[in-house]
Amino acid sequence: MHIAFIGTGNMGLPMLANLLKKGFSATLDRAVAQGAARAASPAEAAAAGEMVITILPSSGNVEAAYLGAGGILEGVAAGRLCIDMSTIDPGTSQRVAARLAERGVRFVDAPVSGGVGGATAGTLAIMVGGAAGDFAEAKPALDAMGTNIIHVGAVGAGEVAKLCNNLIAGAAFVAVSEAFRIAEAFGVDPKILTAVIAKSSGATWVMEKNHPVPGIDPASAANRDYAPGFMTDLMAKDLGLAVNAAREKRVPVAVAAAAQQIYRMASAHGLGRKDCASVYQFLAPSKDEAPV
């Protein structure tokens, strides 16, 4: 199958490589690598493909690539399937899908997790939102790029699943960091505290699999100077999308909003490209002489 592939960044490029390895062919919308053809615009690329795959940095990029001047909507044939693998607002996914549907074009959202490592190894987790038939049609291409492909629900549901998961994980990284900063200030041994919490109601994947405090879990980012892993900047982005999705649907989200701003500040204070567990570093206390 020939694919129009839009978005050959850090993630898109190795994902494309896996598609080509598995026998797909592709037309790209810009400077070409790896034996794929080149088009002048998303519209032209879309016209050349039997299926369209996009993976772009932001909601605005996705809207522009699909609906803007020279965009996919101008070139894609009725009946085609578009797979957007970007992490964006689910509301944007639904709006783009609705505009495409007016012209008989189908759309699924299929954001990924697993990072550049997973993209290269072809082991991404992919959460998919769309009609059952469209999911089935997308599956072979997704199988070329990932190993854990889940059909979550209708269009937008893939984004919702990713953002909701990261909302909880992002809040948990901050909460765990706050808890251990308090414990440290009172002189409590973080290893003993870890053992206590692990068996109680505070147990989380975050503490178990990527403990933010250095010196506890040899495998965690904290023990390699917070080399990512999942970057603070991406956690800030995903929490921002979650909070914005909540805004669009009038859902109050106080903890997610607080966590979002903490990652934004941690990014602004130099931790953007560190693992998101470095929020523990950001949450250092004031010096002892500060009045309380």
**Which residues are designated catalytic?**
162
d(CA 213, CA 236): 20
- Residue whose CB is less far from its own copies, 19 or 119: 119
d(CA 53, CA 84): 6
- Residue whose CB is less far from its own copies, 35 or 69: 69
Exposure letters 238-276 (e unless 16+ CB within 10 A, then b): bbbbbbbbbeeeeeebeebbebbebbbebbeeebbebbb
Q: Length of the chain in residues, anyone?
A: 292
Instruction: State the minimum distance, in angstroms, from the CB of residue 95 to its own copies.
Output: 7
Q: Which two tokens stand for residue 7?
A: 């978005």
Query: Can the peptide bond before residue 229 be classed as cis, meaning omega within 30 degrees of 0?
Result: yes
- Residue whose CB is less far from its own copies, 7 or 49: 7
The three-point CA angle 258-261-263 to 5° equals 110
Instruction: State the minimum distance, in angstroms, from the CB of residue 256 to its own copies.
Output: 5
First to last CA, the chain: 66
Instruction: State the minimum distance, in angstroms, from the CB of residue 207 to its own copies.
Output: 8
Instruction: State the minimum distance, in angstroms, from the CB of residue 288 to its own copies.
Output: 7
- Residue whose CB is less far from its own copies, 51 or 109: 109
